[in-house]
Amino acid sequence: MSALANRHFSKMNGIGNEIVVVDLRDHPATVTADDARAVAAPNAVPYDQLMVLQPPRLAGTDAFIRIYNNDGSESGACGNGMRCVARQLFAATGKSAMTFETKAGLLNTWQGPTPELYTVDMGPPKFGWQDIPLAEEFRDTRSIELQIGPIDAPVLHTPSVVSMGNPHAIFWVDDVEAYDLGRFGPLLENHPIFPERANITLAHIVDRDHITIRTWERGAGLTKACGSAACATAVAAARLRRTNRIVQVTLPGGDLTIEWRKSDDHVLMTGTATFEFEGRFDPALFASVA
């Protein structure tokens, strides 16, 4: 029997990033990639990320969270999903701040400046080619040699790359809607330069305080919002000295405020989290799961 059969879930979204939250802290169980894929089936509860809360492993934390993409692969970080988890647990406990452990490390969350906003400390970005990771050395990851299309007239080229707990490549364009990201995204996500695949973002710098992006999310595909991509883009733009360290990032699903804090290098993401509905997983969903 699947670990998720008959389990309660909450369906939420973070500015359009479709999130399913399952709290297994009181009933620990191992969720497999097959379980995660079964949940994402069209007749189930389609999602971008599945946030599975497990009992805390470290003192001072509220849960260990495993994050699954809808193809069953695991992600180290999901900022939009973390805001959804924070909203659920803040409401249940009355707390206004919590600390969670993920594969990417510890993430602190707290109530934002207004009741409908939640802030996640996504930690410091990583820029070393081996930390992102890339398959070969690039001394300067503010831009790397990568393009798609003809050599003399590339469609997309020279992205910035950064890790926000997962790998990101940001292509700077004049119009994020002018490219068929559904076509180019899979090719770039699986490019040999990215041994762990990558999130692919098209970014347009509106001004020093505002960026617009669209993202093909690793393991999930086209998405209305990707919080870690917004963070990676804000950091990459500031590294290029094209924006300030606090910016508004506009995604198809809405806006996020991103601050790359100078005092400790951490990236703070603030945005909404919306509850949609709750239910229990029908055991029949997992009939084909061994």
Find how far residue 209's CA is from the centre of its chain.
22
**Please, which residues bridge with residue 260 across strands?**
267
Distance (Å, rounded) from C-alpha 117 to C-alpha 3?
Answer: 32
Alpha helices in the chain (DSSP H): 33-39, 79-93, 181-189, 227-239
Task: Return the sign of the alpha-carbon dihedral for residues 45, 51, 56, 57.
Answer: positive
Which is the catalytic residue, given 45, 132, 226, 247?
226
Query: Who's near 226: CB < 8 A, 6+ residues apart?
Result: 17, 80, 199, 201, 215, 217, 251
Active site residue 78: yes
Task: Of 208, 220, 209, give the one whose Cα is nearest residue 200.
Answer: 220
Which is the catalytic residue, given 3, 24, 78, 170?
78
Active site residue 84: no
Contact call for residues 284 and 5 (beta carbons, < 8 A): no
Backbone φ, ψ for residue 105 (5° rounding): 120, -165
List, by residue number, the catalytic residues: 78, 226
